[in-house]
């Protein structure tokens, strides 16, 4: 593997509770807006949690055939739109697409749960009307690899193509894997990230049963409160976050605008518990250290962290513990924020959505606030959690953390691109 091969970000695409435009998305984050609302697309009056940061209905006709859009699961729809919008930002239209060497262009868009809506509706159909009424698309539209597969069919991309499913660490794992394919010489360009559409009756019921969700129904916009002493669980979110990664050589050769540099990343496992992190943060610390090593950077090069920060009692502080272990006294020079305070937890898409937030921080020199942080945990120490108001910051190096059920840890590292 050629670690000296530089990898750059040339496009970003998003589907979110704030819409499907990267600038609009980051403007909403900078303003401290919340995308968390009462759930209205299915009845949930008897659920102890009745809110989420869902993706509103939107027109996909510019990106997906209308008939196909009606058929496919929302997670595939989100991934397709985000992927094609990322290509648009990368200035890869029909003419440029024809010039690409398609065998050296790949896609890794993962999902934690895949076609949950299709699975729910198919199961309901089976129980109520029998097996003969199950759609022939039932299996294709629930499996997690189909988002990247259908996008590849649309684009003609014949390079590495698969999905990764590591719960809430999925998108970061996908980005790391995509970058490694470029380093290994398997591809010149990769579309990568995550997509999730889990705000469904069965998705909500599952997390309710898991006792992972906030129950702050009286004011949903205040329910997601990372690092606040009053936090009581996470808020479900959904959407897709997708990046275009290219080798620097490939990007420059086609005259691309480079948004940021991907320096490196790492993945690992707590090997500890099905849903709880190691409380001492040792798994988190190991992952961050490996990511910095892969990036060839020192801890002093990092001054911004986009935290996993789900707003759960255990998870938030395990991450903080790990950060203190790695960065020591340098934490006083760092800012860390929690995107999920406004977008909810986008599960398998979270790392992709938060990679975009991290890259926008680099591009704009502004880091968004952590909303609802009124009583910060003392254990934060001298880390600045950017409470409630955006701050100016010239980002020298950024890390974005994502951790998932099963103990899956992942960290990716970005920085400003310098020739």
Residues 16 and 43 in one domain: yes
Going by pLDDT thresholds of 50, 70 and 90, the confidence category of residue 9 is very high
Residues 65 and 93 in one domain: yes
Asked whether residue 2 is assigned to any structural domain, the reply reads no
Q: pLDDT tens digits for 377-390?
A: 999 999 999 999 99
Catalytic annotation, pick one of 263, 286, 308, 408: 308
Per the prediction, the chain carries an average pLDDT of 97
pLDDT value for 145: 98
Asked whether residue 207 is assigned to any structural domain, the reply reads yes
- The secondary structure of 202-227 as a DSSP string is HHHHHHHHTT-B---TT-GGGS--TT
Catalytic annotation, pick one of 263, 286, 324, 345: 345
260, 293, 317: which is the final residue of a domain?
Answer: 260
Residues 74 and 170 in one domain: yes
Is 269 one of the annotated active-site residues of the chain?
no
Is 345 one of the annotated active-site residues of the chain?
yes
Residues 97 and 195 in one domain: yes
Catalytic annotation, pick one of 44, 105, 168, 346: 168
Residues 246 and 277 in one domain: no
Q: What is the number of domains present in the chain?
A: 2
Residues 235 and 377 in one domain: no
Task: Count CB atoms within 10 A of the CB of residue 218.
Answer: 7
Quick check: helix, strand or coil at residue 365? Answer: coil
Residue range of the domain that includes 130? 8-260
CA dihedral 370, 371, 377, 380 (to 10 degrees): 10
Residue 185 or 3, more confident: 185
260, 291, 309: which is the final residue of a domain?
Answer: 260
Q: pLDDT tens digits for 97-128?
A: 999 999 999 999 999 999 999 999 999 999 99
In 200-238 the beta strands, taken as DSSP E runs, fall at none
Is 368 one of the annotated active-site residues of the chain?
no
Mean pLDDT of 125-135: 95
CATH number, domain of 159, equals 3.40.47.10
């Amino acid at each position: 593997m050629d670690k000296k091969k530089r990898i750059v970000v040339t496009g970003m695409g998003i589907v979110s509770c704030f819409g499907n435009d990267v600038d609009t998305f980051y403007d909403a984050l900078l303003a401290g807006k919340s995308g968390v609302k009462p759930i209205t697309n299915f009845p949930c009056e008897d659920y102890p949690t009745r809110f989420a940061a869902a993706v509103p209905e939107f027109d996909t006709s510019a990106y997906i055939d209308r008939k196909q859009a009606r058929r496919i699961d929302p997670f595939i729809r989100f991934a397709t739109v985000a992927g094609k919008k990322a290509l648009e930002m990368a200035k890869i239209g029909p003419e440029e697409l024809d010039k690409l060497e398609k065998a050296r262009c790949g896609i890794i868009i993962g999902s934690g749960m895949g076609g949950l809506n299709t699975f729910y509706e198919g199961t309901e159909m089976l129980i109520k009307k029998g097996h003969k009424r199950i759609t022939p698309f039932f299996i294709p539209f629930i499996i997690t690899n189909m988002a990247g597969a259908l996008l590849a069919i649309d684009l003609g991309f014949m390079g590495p193509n698969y999905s990764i499913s590591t719960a809430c660490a999925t998108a970061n794992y996908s980005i790391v894997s995509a970058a490694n394919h470029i380093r290994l010489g398997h591809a010149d360009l990769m579309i990568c990230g995550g997509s999730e559409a889990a705000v469904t009756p069965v998705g909500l019921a599952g997390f309710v049963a898991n006792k992972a969700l906030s129950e702050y129904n009286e004011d949903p916009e205040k329910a997601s409160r990372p690092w606040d002493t009053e936090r009581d669980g996470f808020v479900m979110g959904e959407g897709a976050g997708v990046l275009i990664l290219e080798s620097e050589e490939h990007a420059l050769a086609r005259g691309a605008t480079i948004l940021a540099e991907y320096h490196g990343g790492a993945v690992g496992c707590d090997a500890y518990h099905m849903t709880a992190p190691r409380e001492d943060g040792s798994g988190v610390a190991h992952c961050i250290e490996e990511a910095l090593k892969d990036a060839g950077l020192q801890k002093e090069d990092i001054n911004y962290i986009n935290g996993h920060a789900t707003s759960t009692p255990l998870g938030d502080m395990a991450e903080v513990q790990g950060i203190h272990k790695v960065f020591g006294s340098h934490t006083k020079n760092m800012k860390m924020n929690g995107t999920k305070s406004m977008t909810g937890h986008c599960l398998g898409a979270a790392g992709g959505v938060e990679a975009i937030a991290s890259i926008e921080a680099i591009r704009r020199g502004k880091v968004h606030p952590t909303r609802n942080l009124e009583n910060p945990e003392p254990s934060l120490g001298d880390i600045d959690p950017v409470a409630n108001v955006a701050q100016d910051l010239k980002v020298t190096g950024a890390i974005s953390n994502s951790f998932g059920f099963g103990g899956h840890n992942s960290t990716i590292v970005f920085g400003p691109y310098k020739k």
